[in-house]
């Protein structure tokens, strides 16, 4: 893989749909999100989380970031997320996790991807 962040030669199944503009495999993105890797001096955990928040669906975002990591890290990520209404809804989510469901704080992306049953149970 080259050091150039432009897309070249990967098939759509090799990378996530929310990473259309960088030459990153799914595994590379997952490593960045877990905080195990930084690419091109700027693609770090914060970048990966914000990518998920803005472009993946809610279930995928929570499954990959985790309730706990989302609630803990949201204040740092908030200013980088576009759309005031979207930020307000995520403010509510972060507060809901911490105040109404603190038991969900143990789930974070650094442990593993959340099981589907956890997402269904938190409704």
Going by pLDDT thresholds of 50, 70 and 90, the confidence category of residue 107 is confident
Q: Tell me, what's the pLDDT at 78?
A: 97
DSSP the chain: --S--S--S--GGGS-TT--SS---HHHHHHHHTTS--BTTTB-HHHHHHHHHHHS-HHHHHHHH-HHHHHHHHHHHGGGS--HHHHHHHHHHHHHHHHH-GGGGG--TTT-PPPHHHHHHT-
Q: Tell me, what's the pLDDT at 49?
A: 96
Going by pLDDT thresholds of 50, 70 and 90, the confidence category of residue 1 is very low
- Summarize pLDDT for 32-61 with one digit per residue, the tens: 999 998 988 899 999 999 999 999 999 999
Q: Tell me, what's the pLDDT at 5?
A: 46
Q: Tell me, what's the pLDDT at 2?
A: 42
Query: Does the structure show a pLDDT above 90 at 122?
Result: no
Query: Does the structure show a pLDDT above 60 at 89?
Result: yes
């Amino acid at each position: 893989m080259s050091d150039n962040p432009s897309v070249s030669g990967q098939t759509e199944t090799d990378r996530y749909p929310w990473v259309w503009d960088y030459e990153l495999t799914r595994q590379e993105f997952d490593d960045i999100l877990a905080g195990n890797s930084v690419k091109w001096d700027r693609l770090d955990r914060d970048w990966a989380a914000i990518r998920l928040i803005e472009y993946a669906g809610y279930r995928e975002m929570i499954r990959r970031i985790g309730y706990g990591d989302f609630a803990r890290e949201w204040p740092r990520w908030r200013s980088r997320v576009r759309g005031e209404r979207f930020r307000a809804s995520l403010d509510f989510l972060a507060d809901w996790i911490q105040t109404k469901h603190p038991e969900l704080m143990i789930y974070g992306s650094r442990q593993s991807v959340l099981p589907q049953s956890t997402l269904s149970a938190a409704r």
